[in-house]
Chain A
């Protein structure tokens, strides 16, 4: 019953809230618009936007040491999560059956384990830094902690359900994922989409001034 509910109606509700919510949030960002820059540019902005979109994935020159913790732990988490999300065998199957109608080759079991290790280690590390580092402590909001906790729980229950013999465990994982999806558009997690907008705006503005940002 419970499983049917979380795999049926609740799944569609969560999916709808997620998709509609994200679209509305993105529209809201663009709603306020940006004034066109009238100053004669040194270069066109588009190239800079694309450039910064890519280059900000690494640190600025001479800044790698200051950013080392986030660089390592951050990538551990995000790459790990990415692999789990899109390449874990049960997920690929789910995507094929419930979302797209086609799937792709999942990663082998050992790669899955490795990805999970990285994702958990990275998430715990960045969160611990959040509660330990005076700067992060000062600027963190309830939203940041909630986002971490919900993500952790979703990942954790997913791993609990790995031994796919208990419907109850599977149902719990579905439920926590749906909670996360519903929370997503209202939260900090939006950075997964808006980071591209931010990088592009900054990259374009700086390129017009002749700087590779």
Chain B
């Protein structure tokens, strides 16, 4: 069928995109690490030491230990990873997090809460189904648990030791590590569910370009047109996909060292995991801000499943027009349940040529 064919092309494009990003992403930290790499000034006295430290790569010896990397005397990459973690990841990541938080605060000071210009109309427009909302908060819950425990492990020794003392931090860190490792494998499930339930309507188009050109309509007096999702939301969705896959993949490599992955692979996984985590958390700050206290009328979409008609009109005018055409503005609070039984009512529009009403 036509609908299926369309779905398939979209899926194919998505797949290509995901694949290319997954390939490119791990190279970023590699590049960062190389720029700061060890100097190349020759020093004859260091030759032996270089040999011992295996600066030119791991040279395996012979050992009775039957394990992956069991015959490597000293792992030369460990030091490079340590340096990267302490000298780039921790400080740069820290500044990024603080910087973005400050930026959001600044935005808040200048713009204030984005209000509903037209006030509340009292009319409901259905936006997210029960399953979508459940999956969203599922992903959100796991994400927050992982982010908090992850940040404890990354920054705890700077932030928490002064607060809790070494004893307290030791217990906190141990607990965080266990929680982080236990909840970690749930995140891939969340990401897959997110992709399944939110992919529809998230393919980029020209409307999004214009939306970005107008700074997303977030500035006063400069409204930007948008369909079901705007450019910002679509970007966030694709970040969830790409970061989600990268962080899940690298996390699994780290969490289950039973598939023959050696230290070098683990080290790379560590780098990817750390970098993506910082980027992911940073981006989520913006999303969480605008989804909760930053914009009037947004949170209901994800709690109740409905938004106020004026919110839809002001932030998603094109979608609102379609919903109006489909008679989906000002519906009863059980509308979502009621349309469920009509599989062929496209109650969201999604930029398709108007919602089809079935009867017969």
Contact = CB atoms under 8 A, between A and B. Distances in A.
Touch between A and B in complex, CB under 8 Å?
Answer: yes
A129 B182 contact: no
A169 B130 CA distance: 37
Given A125-B134, A125-B138, A133-B130, A159 B186 contact: no
Contacts of A69: 131
Interface string A111-136: 00110110011001100110011100
Interface in B109-166: 130-131, 133-134, 137-138, 141-142
Interface string A86-127: 000000000000000000000000100110110011001100
Contact of B175 (A117, A128, A134, A169): A169
B186 A120 contact: yes
Interface in B188-237: 189
A134 B174 contact: no
B171 interface: yes
Given A169-B171, A169-B174, A117 B179 contact: no
A121 B189 contact: yes
A162 B183 CA distance: 13
Contacts of B174: 160, 163, 165-166, 169
A161 interface: yes
Contacts of B178: 159-163
Contacts of B177: 163
Contacts of A160: 174-175, 178-179
Contacts of B282: none
Contacts of B79: none
A16 interface: no
B9 interface: no
B258 interface: yes
Interface string A142-186: 000000000000001001111101101100000000000000000
B182 A134 contact: no
A134 B129 CA distance: 11
A202 to B, nearest CB: 27
A156 B131 CA distance: 25
B182 A116 contact: yes
B29 interface: no
Contacts of A156: 179
Nearest to B168: A168
Contacts of B337: 134
A128 B130 CA distance: 9
B175 A161 contact: yes
A121 B170 contact: no
Among B175, B177, B258, chain A packs the most CB atoms within 10 A around the CB of: B175
Contacts of B141: 124, 128
B354 interface: no
Given A113-B185, A159-B179, A128 B138 contact: yes
A129 B134 contact: yes
A165 to B, nearest CB: 6
Contact of B186 (A121, A163, A165, A166): A121
Nearest to B190: A121
Given A125-B134, A132-B130, A166-B174, A110 B179 contact: no
Interface string B282-308: 000000000000000000000101000
A113 B182 CA distance: 6
A69 B138 CA distance: 14
B113 to A, nearest CB: 25
B334 interface: yes
Contacts of B134: 125, 128-129, 132
B183 A120 contact: yes
B138 A124 contact: yes
Nearest to B334: A134
Contacts of B170: 166
Contacts of A163: 174-175, 177-178
Nearest to B140: A128
B130 A120 contact: no
Nearest to B337: A134
Nearest to A76: B189
Contacts of B182: 113, 116-117, 120, 159, 162
Given A120-B182, A121-B186, A132 B133 contact: yes
Given A121-B189, A160-B179, A161-B178, 14 more contacts: A110-B256, A124-B141, A128-B134, A128-B137, A129-B134, A132-B303, A134-B130, A134-B334, A134-B337, A159-B178, A159-B179, A160-B174, A160-B175, A166-B175
3 nearest A-B residue pairs (beta carbon) = A160-B175, A162-B178, A128-B134
28 contacts: A110-B256, A110-B258, A114-B185, A116-B182, A117-B183, A120-B183, A121-B138, A124-B141, A124-B142, A125-B134, A125-B138, A128-B134, A128-B137, A129-B130, A132-B137, A132-B303, A132-B305, A134-B130, A134-B333, A160-B175, A160-B178, A160-B179, A161-B175, A162-B182, A163-B177, A163-B178, A168-B171, A169-B171
